[in-house]
Amino acid sequence: MNYISSDDRYREIIKREMSKLKRSVKIKVFTSKSISSNQTKIQECMDCGLFMNLIRIYEENSNGFLTIEEMYIDENPQFSKDYDITRVPTVLFIDEEGRELIRYLAAPQGGEVQPFVQALFAFAGAGNYYEATIKQNLDRISPSTIKVMITNSCPYCPQVVAIANLFAIAASGKIRTVIIDIIANPDIGKFYDAAGVPYTVINERPAISGMVGPNEILRALIGGKIRVQY
């Protein structure tokens, strides 16, 4: 897996964008230093050390507004039970009421920088473009999980990820998003027969393959027409 390099243009984008963060936000990253020795069934899908180096770039450039809480599952195996961690590294966005909104089984690098930054800002309370319509239709959405399967070479994946993340943040705990790099997690891709990305699975129903827009995702969540009042 290629991680961000010191001269990567995306490092500059992270620096530029994270410096605009004006509200505090905290996310958890679950890692392990010795995954093979703790006798758990947890898989290491990406190198935790390199992953943390990447995640710290976001934190270091946020003027202290982003806090990354690194959770070592070796030191506290109970974490894996409490937070349903089956592989590391895993990033969780957990709201103030303890609800998991977003789970990343993917590295926010390359094109995935943009949706990750957007999610951090929205999670911190910045404006969310989709929020009004999501709220208007919230009573028609049952508790849902959107799984977005991606690869790092996919130009359309970041756009689907951005929409799914913003939906989850707008939905007050009713929507949970899981972002999965299926090159790093081939077993998940195989489980869903995914051989193309973006590959979006909503509530375990048949997947939507390819680029999918916000109205299509919302319609799939509702199972009917979207109610809109400006």
Partner 1 sequence: MYNIELEELEPDKVWDLIVLGGGPTAIGCAIYAARFALDVLIIGKTFGGLIATTHIVENYPAITSISGQGLMDMFRDHMDSLNIPYISDEIRNIEKENHHFILHSYFQKFKAASIVIATGSERKKLGIPGEGEFAGRGVSYCATCDGPFYKDKLVCVIGGSDSAAKEALFLAQNCKKVFIIYRGDEIRAEPINKKRVHDNERIEIIYKTNVIEIKGDHTVKSIMFENAKELEIDGVFIEIGSIPASDIAKHIGLNTNQNGEIIINRKSETNIPGIFAAGDVADSPFKQAITGVAEGVIAAYSAFDYLKTYTIEY
Contact residues toward partner 1 (CB under 8 A) are 9, 17, 20, 111, 114, 117-118, 121, 126-127, 129-130, 132-133, 151, 153-157, 159, 162-163, 183, 189, 193-199, 207, 209-211, 213-215, 218, 226, 228, 230
CB of 49 to partner 1, least distance (A): 24
Q: Which is nearer to partner 1, 55 or 113 (CB)?
A: 113
Q: Based on C-alpha coordinates, what's the Rg of the chain?
A: 17
CB of 152 to partner 1, least distance (A): 9
Q: Which is nearer to partner 1, 132 or 142 (CB)?
A: 132
Q: Distance between CA 158 and CA 24 in Å, rounded? A: 24
Token pair recorded at residue 94: 């957990």
Angle made by CA atoms 42, 47, 51, in degrees to the nearest 5 = 110
Closest by CA position to 21, among listed 163, 117, 161, 128: 117
Q: Distance between CA 155 and CA 164 in Å, rounded? A: 16
Q: Which is nearer to partner 1, 31 or 165 (CB)?
A: 165
CB of 140 to partner 1, least distance (A): 14
Q: Residue 220, Cβ neighbours under 10 Å: how many?
A: 16
CB of 189 to partner 1, least distance (A): 8
Q: Distance between CA 150 and CA 107 in Å, rounded? A: 10
Q: Which is nearer to partner 1, 73 or 218 (CB)?
A: 218
CB of 104 to partner 1, least distance (A): 18
Q: Which is nearer to partner 1, 100 or 131 (CB)?
A: 131
Q: Distance between CA 118 and CA 65 in Å, rounded? A: 14
How many angstroms from the chain centroid is the CA of residue 132? 21
